[in-house]
Amino acid sequence: MDNTTTILGDVDPEVGQRLVSRREAIMRGATAGSSVALGLAMASAPVAFAALARDAFGQSTPATVQSVIDFALVLEIFEKEFYSAVLGVSSSSAQNAAFATVRAAAAAVPGAVAALQQIQKHEAEHVAFLTANGAKNTLNLTADSFDFTGGQGSGTGPFARATTELPFLLLVAQGAEDTGVRAYKGQAPNLQSNTVVLEAALRIHSVEARHASKIRRMRRMTGAPAVVKYSGTISGGGVAAAGADNISSPPAGAVTALNLIYAGEDNVMQGGVDVSKLPNLPSGAGTAAATEAFDEPLTRAQVVAIVQPFFKVAIS
């Protein structure tokens, strides 16, 4: 791959060599960051060395950034293959066949297929973007790598009804999109030292949020409870925030998954401030509004725990 055409091409792969040569250059008096110069001027060795480390690794160790975009690719492939199967355009005829019933149900709802197609298009574009910019499909995931019933390959997992019931399908889509938003948000700090990758990730993250909002609106318009806001925001946390009351007798495994997907979304402490108690709020703005105004991150481990049941192979 021609490095000059990838955004990761901006990051020198020979970081080790760069570190040595830059340290040498600074030691010999070349222009250094202000904290380095200060440390050297103060003849304070620990400050100087610590600052040198930040300078030399200004663009973060490629391994960190690589790991993040590889993980992002795993999630995007999952979403792309999910929507492809739903729409019947997967490269796997088995996956397409599994969703035939719910696909027909979606076709009967004006605008539903158009929305799902736009979402699928974006997920495919995200896969292409990440791949074009150095992300590696190290698990060799294909359309057949997934068990969309959430049964880790059994085909009889707790989300089986998504293949036949539209309300259940939309609930799964909502969970997938919200998990994607939370996953990207959680990884942003790990991308800070590569500003190009960070910005690209932020721009993908907001697209997933648009998707999530649309799915919530579709659900509310077809019978989901009022906790599923028309504004597309997440109210409260845990399974309650999923707004699944329009699903009769949801399997225990689905409830467990929804609790994981929306864990912590009821947080009202932001930067040490209880935002439900800020001054000048509209009279109707209480705890619910405070939880809606901020989306929460998930760690990589939390995301893995949520999505692992949908993969036939172990992910990490």
Partner 1 sequence: MAERGKRMVIGSADELWKGSTRRGFLKMLGIGGTIVMLPGVFEACDALQPMTAPGSTTGGSGAVQLDLSNDFGILNYAYALEQLEAAFYTAVAGSSAFSSFNAEQKEVFQDLQNHEVIHREFFKAALGSHAIGALALNTATVSASLASTATILKTAEAFEDLGVSAYNGAGKYLTDPTYLTLAGKIVSVEARHAAAIRDMRDAMGVTGGDAAGTRFAGDTVVAPSGPYAGLDVKLEPSVVLSRVAATGFVSTPVSVVNTPSKQGTPDQGPPSPTP
Q: Which residues bind partner 1 (CB under 8 A)?
A: 7, 10, 111, 114-115, 117-119, 121-126, 128-129, 132, 181, 185, 188-189, 192, 195-196, 198-200, 202-214, 217, 229-233, 270-271, 273, 275, 278-282, 284-285, 289-290, 292-297
For partner 1, the closer of residues 163 and 194 by Cβ is 194
Q: Report, in Å, the least distance between residue 36 CB and partner 1.
A: 16
Residue 94: is it exposed, middle or buried by C-beta count within 10 angstroms (0-12/13-18/19+)? Answer: exposed
- Please tell me the distance from the alpha carbon of residue 240 to that of residue 311, in angstroms, as a whole number: 26
DSSP character for 26? H
DSSP character for 311? B
Q: Report, in Å, the least distance between residue 105 CB and partner 1.
A: 17
Closest listed residue to residue 12, CA positions, set 136, 194, 199: 194
Q: Report, in Å, the least distance between residue 6 CB and partner 1.
A: 10
For partner 1, the closer of residues 32 and 160 by Cβ is 32
DSSP character for 61? P
Q: Report, in Å, the least distance between residue 123 CB and partner 1.
A: 8
Q: Report, in Å, the least distance between residue 179 CB and partner 1.
A: 12
For partner 1, the closer of residues 91 and 192 by Cβ is 192
Closest listed residue to residue 189, CA positions, set 302, 297, 103: 297
Angle between helix axes 195-221 and 166-187 (nearest 10 degrees) is: 160
For partner 1, the closer of residues 130 and 254 by Cβ is 130
For partner 1, the closer of residues 7 and 65 by Cβ is 7
For partner 1, the closer of residues 163 and 291 by Cβ is 291
- Please tell me the distance from the alpha carbon of residue 31 to that of residue 288, in angstroms, as a whole number: 52
Q: Report which residue type is found at 56.
A: A
- Please tell me the distance from the alpha carbon of residue 106 to that of residue 316, in angstroms, as a whole number: 33
- Please tell me the distance from the alpha carbon of residue 90 to that of residue 109, in angstroms, as a whole number: 21
